[in-house]
Amino acid sequence: MHRSLETSSYERLRARGLSLPAVPAPIGNFNHVTREGNLLFMSGQGPVTADGQLMTGKVGDTVSTEDAYQHALLVGLNLLSVLHDELGDLSRVTRVVKLLGMVNATPDFSEHPRVINGCSDLLVYVLGEAGRHSRSAVGVGSLPNNITVEIEAIVAIRD
Protein backbone atom coordinates (compact mmCIF):
# COMPACT_ATOMS: atom_id res chain seq x y z
CA MET A 1 0.00 0.00 0.00
CA HIS A 2 1.38 3.40 -1.01
CA ARG A 3 0.85 6.24 1.38
CA SER A 4 1.85 9.82 0.89
CA LEU A 5 5.02 10.66 2.75
CA GLU A 6 5.47 14.19 1.39
CA THR A 7 4.73 15.73 4.73
CA SER A 8 3.95 12.82 7.02
CA SER A 9 7.57 11.72 7.56
CA TYR A 10 8.52 15.25 8.54
CA GLU A 11 5.36 15.67 10.61
CA ARG A 12 6.17 12.45 12.46
CA LEU A 13 9.62 13.78 13.27
CA ARG A 14 8.14 17.04 14.54
CA ALA A 15 5.53 15.14 16.57
CA ARG A 16 8.39 13.57 18.54
CA GLY A 17 10.19 16.88 18.90
CA LEU A 18 12.88 15.82 16.42
CA SER A 19 14.36 17.58 13.42
CA LEU A 20 16.90 16.58 10.82
CA PRO A 21 20.40 17.83 11.69
CA ALA A 22 22.87 19.11 9.12
CA VAL A 23 24.68 16.34 7.28
CA PRO A 24 28.02 15.75 9.00
CA ALA A 25 31.16 15.95 6.87
CA PRO A 26 32.71 12.56 6.02
CA ILE A 27 35.72 11.75 8.19
CA GLY A 28 37.62 10.20 5.29
CA ASN A 29 37.90 9.90 1.53
CA PHE A 30 34.42 8.52 0.80
CA ASN A 31 30.88 9.56 -0.10
CA HIS A 32 27.96 9.36 2.28
CA VAL A 33 25.91 7.72 -0.48
CA THR A 34 26.64 5.70 -3.59
CA ARG A 35 23.73 5.10 -5.94
CA GLU A 36 23.46 1.99 -8.07
CA GLY A 37 20.19 1.88 -9.99
CA ASN A 38 17.39 2.48 -7.47
CA LEU A 39 19.52 1.42 -4.51
CA LEU A 40 21.42 3.79 -2.24
CA PHE A 41 24.36 2.32 -0.35
CA MET A 42 24.85 4.55 2.67
CA SER A 43 28.16 4.81 4.47
CA GLY A 44 28.14 4.26 8.20
CA GLN A 45 26.95 7.18 10.29
CA GLY A 46 27.78 7.77 13.91
CA PRO A 47 25.99 9.42 16.81
CA VAL A 48 26.72 13.10 16.19
CA THR A 49 24.48 15.70 17.79
CA ALA A 50 23.21 18.76 15.91
CA ASP A 51 25.98 20.82 17.56
CA GLY A 52 28.68 18.36 16.41
CA GLN A 53 29.23 16.46 19.65
CA LEU A 54 30.19 12.80 19.26
CA MET A 55 28.65 10.23 21.61
CA THR A 56 31.63 8.16 22.72
CA GLY A 57 32.46 5.32 25.05
CA LYS A 58 32.22 1.59 25.50
CA VAL A 59 28.72 0.12 25.77
CA GLY A 60 28.56 -2.24 28.73
CA ASP A 61 31.18 -0.22 30.58
CA THR A 62 30.94 3.58 30.44
CA VAL A 63 27.68 3.66 28.41
CA SER A 64 24.42 1.94 29.35
CA THR A 65 22.22 0.01 26.93
CA GLU A 66 19.54 2.70 27.32
CA ASP A 67 21.95 5.53 26.49
CA ALA A 68 23.33 3.57 23.52
CA TYR A 69 19.73 3.08 22.28
CA GLN A 70 19.40 6.89 22.23
CA HIS A 71 22.73 7.13 20.41
CA ALA A 72 21.42 4.68 17.76
CA LEU A 73 18.30 6.85 17.42
CA LEU A 74 20.61 9.80 16.80
CA VAL A 75 22.37 7.76 14.11
CA GLY A 76 18.95 7.13 12.55
CA LEU A 77 18.37 10.89 12.42
CA ASN A 78 21.72 11.33 10.72
CA LEU A 79 20.87 8.60 8.18
CA LEU A 80 17.55 10.35 7.47
CA SER A 81 19.42 13.67 7.06
CA VAL A 82 21.75 12.11 4.51
CA LEU A 83 18.75 10.62 2.68
CA HIS A 84 16.93 13.97 2.69
CA ASP A 85 20.07 15.73 1.43
CA GLU A 86 20.53 13.16 -1.35
CA LEU A 87 16.88 12.87 -2.42
CA GLY A 88 15.35 16.23 -1.51
CA ASP A 89 12.31 14.45 -0.07
CA LEU A 90 11.96 11.36 2.10
CA SER A 91 8.83 10.39 0.14
CA ARG A 92 11.19 8.94 -2.49
CA VAL A 93 12.19 6.14 -0.09
CA THR A 94 10.34 2.95 -1.04
CA ARG A 95 12.11 0.64 1.42
CA VAL A 96 14.93 0.60 3.91
CA VAL A 97 16.32 -2.71 2.71
CA LYS A 98 19.08 -3.48 5.20
CA LEU A 99 20.92 -2.03 8.20
CA LEU A 100 24.26 -3.07 9.59
CA GLY A 101 24.57 -1.83 13.16
CA MET A 102 27.89 -1.93 14.99
CA VAL A 103 28.14 -1.37 18.73
CA ASN A 104 31.41 -0.41 20.41
CA ALA A 105 30.96 -2.87 23.27
CA THR A 106 32.75 -4.81 25.96
CA PRO A 107 33.44 -8.48 25.12
CA ASP A 108 30.71 -9.70 27.50
CA PHE A 109 28.01 -7.27 26.27
CA SER A 110 25.15 -9.15 24.58
CA GLU A 111 22.34 -6.62 24.00
CA HIS A 112 23.45 -5.35 20.58
CA PRO A 113 19.95 -5.77 19.07
CA ARG A 114 18.41 -3.64 21.85
CA VAL A 115 20.89 -0.87 21.08
CA ILE A 116 20.33 -0.89 17.30
CA ASN A 117 16.56 -0.87 17.92
CA GLY A 118 17.02 2.87 18.55
CA CYS A 119 17.64 3.36 14.84
CA SER A 120 15.20 0.69 13.66
CA ASP A 121 12.37 2.03 15.82
CA LEU A 122 12.92 5.55 14.49
CA LEU A 123 12.99 4.47 10.83
CA VAL A 124 9.76 2.50 11.17
CA TYR A 125 8.11 5.36 13.07
CA VAL A 126 9.13 7.99 10.51
CA LEU A 127 8.83 5.98 7.28
CA GLY A 128 6.09 3.51 8.21
CA GLU A 129 6.23 0.17 6.39
CA ALA A 130 8.94 1.55 4.09
CA GLY A 131 11.16 1.74 7.18
CA ARG A 132 10.93 -2.01 7.97
CA HIS A 133 14.19 -3.70 7.10
CA SER A 134 16.50 -6.64 7.46
CA ARG A 135 19.27 -6.04 9.93
CA SER A 136 22.45 -7.24 11.54
CA ALA A 137 23.56 -5.98 14.95
CA VAL A 138 27.08 -6.82 16.02
CA GLY A 139 29.56 -5.87 18.71
CA VAL A 140 33.00 -4.60 17.81
CA GLY A 141 36.13 -3.86 19.82
CA SER A 142 36.32 -0.24 18.67
CA LEU A 143 34.83 2.29 16.28
CA PRO A 144 36.26 5.49 14.74
CA ASN A 145 36.80 8.26 17.29
CA ASN A 146 35.56 5.88 20.01
CA ILE A 147 31.91 6.43 18.98
CA THR A 148 29.39 4.13 20.63
CA VAL A 149 27.42 3.11 17.53
CA GLU A 150 27.87 3.12 13.76
CA ILE A 151 25.11 2.12 11.35
CA GLU A 152 25.13 1.79 7.57
CA ALA A 153 22.11 1.23 5.32
CA ILE A 154 20.91 0.09 1.93
CA VAL A 155 17.82 1.99 0.79
CA ALA A 156 15.56 1.51 -2.25
CA ILE A 157 14.21 4.68 -3.84
CA ARG A 158 11.94 5.87 -6.64
CA ASP A 159 12.87 8.58 -9.13
CATH of 8-20+38-157, one of 1.20.1330.10, 3.30.930.10, 2.40.50.140, 3.30.1330.40: 3.30.1330.40
Give me the pLDDT at residue 127, please.
Answer: 96
pLDDT of res. 25: 81
State the sign of the Cα–Cα–Cα–Cα dihedral 60, 65, 69, 70.
negative
pLDDT reported for residue 5:
41
Instruction: Report if pTM > 0.85.
Output: yes
The whole-number pLDDT of residue 6 equals 47
What does the alpha-carbon distance between residue 43 and residue 86 come to, in Å, rounded to a whole number? 13
Predicted pLDDT of residue 87: 97
Query: pLDDT below 70 — which residues of the chain?
Result: 1-7
pLDDT at 26: 84
